[in-house]
Amino acid sequence: MGKTLILLGVAIGMGLLVYWLAAPRTSVPAPAAPPARTSDTPASPAASPNDAAQPVKPRDTAGGGPIAPPLTAEEKEHETLESRRAPLYGKLHKDLGAALKAVRPSDDDAATLDLYAAQDAPGNTIMLLNMALQTNVAYYGFRHIRFFAPNPPGAIELYRLDAEASADNAGNWQTFKK
């Protein structure tokens, strides 16, 4: 019985020694911290309606972090489309200034453009539609525009659907007030 305990202790000791010697060579290093944000634009609020307008950038894998999985064909197409639409979003923000709170493609349909007005004013929908049509939104693949107006303070939802505009096959846009 004494010899068995001694052999068991030696076997456990040898196992720990082998583990201790082999562990540094086989363990995965801790992932590197994400790169610091270098843009001079502030981070957007958590539930901003403009979040989808920002194209997704691939992670830097040179830092030893995990490698991002390859993109599917749909993800590549979406990324390419959004990179082509980025100038449109910038132009709308520049031209509309304070009248526009956010602009982004719809979550449901990539061919639908959602415009979020900064204030609920009469004629605001027509002004936003005219400016969107001047920038030729149909060229960027949008066939439908939804206009959202802010709800009064204290409402549960921040925005409500105010109007929609759709293009027919001839390129004529029709606006429907909700």
**Tell me, what CATH number does 88's domain have?**
3.30.70
Is residue 22 assigned to a domain?
Answer: no
pTM of the model: 0.58
Query: Mind listing the pLDDT tens digit for each residue in 10-68?
Result: 889 888 877 767 765 555 555 555 544 444 433 333 344 544 445 455 555 556 688 88
Is residue 146 assigned to a domain?
Answer: yes
Is residue 114 assigned to a domain?
Answer: yes
- Which of 69, 67, 64 is closest to 32 using CA atoms? 64
Return d(Cα 67, Cα 82) in angstroms, integer.
23
Quickly count helices (H) and strands (E) in the chain.
3, 5
Is residue 150 assigned to a domain?
Answer: yes
Query: pLDDT exceeding 90 applies to what percent of the chain?
Result: 9
Pairing outcome for strands 159-167 and 173-177: antiparallel
Amino acid symbol at 42 = P
Predicted pLDDT at 46? 38
Domain that holds residue 157: 80-177
> Domain tally for the chain?
1
What average pLDDT does this structure show over 123-136?
81
Is residue 51 assigned to a domain?
Answer: no
Is residue 129 assigned to a domain?
Answer: yes
Contact 159, 149 (CB under 8 A): yes
Predicted pLDDT at 44? 36
Predicted pLDDT at 24? 59
The dihedral built from the CA positions of residue 117, 175, 91 and 60, taken in this order, carries a sign that is positive
Query: Mind listing the pLDDT tens digit for each residue in 86-108?
Result: 888 888 888 887 888 888 898 88
The H-or-E segment that residue 4 falls in is: helix 2-26
- SS3 at position 17: helix
The Cα-based distances of 31 to 61, 62, 63, 67 in angstroms read 10, 11, 9, 11
Is residue 43 assigned to a domain?
Answer: no
For the chain, how big is the Rg over CA atoms in Å?
28
